[in-house]
Amino acid sequence: MGEHTFEDIDEAATSLESIVNGVDVATLTGPGATRLAQRLVTAERVLAACRARALRRATEANQWRQAGERSPAAWAAKVTGTSAGQAAAELETTRQLEALPATAAAAAAGVISPQQARELASAATADPAAEAELLRRAKVDDAAAFKKRCARIRAAAETDEAAARERI
């Protein structure tokens, strides 16, 4: 596990749970509540990125078969309490991020949300040259605008690919 052990993770998780559950948000000022929310958003994103990588590794190690599940997505859905579709999308995004180190680093640092990572990974997989610009836009576009931007990039890449196939 690199420099950290499972015991380190368990200890940190227990400590974080205790701290977060001990916060009386009713006593926070508006700016204090905003600061707390922003920090928790980043922490949540960091944890989600790590969880996704761990789930991908577990599925590669056939944990889903050992658990008697019909597919990696079904197993991951059971572990995460989500739908098989959501779990499959998370596993696919994590697979795509293996070829997109800048986007993977942004997700791991909590700079982009899991939803932004999914959209960005899909678009940058279709058009790798778009990755840097999409990383910049993820910081300024709202969710709907970013999703549309990524969809346009995917559509343009599909059109280019279809045209190339026709020429061949």
pLDDT along the chain (168 residues), means of 10: 86 94 96 97 96 97 96 97 96 97 98 97 96 97 97 89 62
Whose CA is closest to 137, among 154, 121, 116? Answer: 116
Tokens of 71: 């597919």
* pLDDT score recorded for residue 3: 87
Name the pTM for this structure: 0.86
> CA-to-CA distance for 118 and 92, rounded, in angstroms?
8
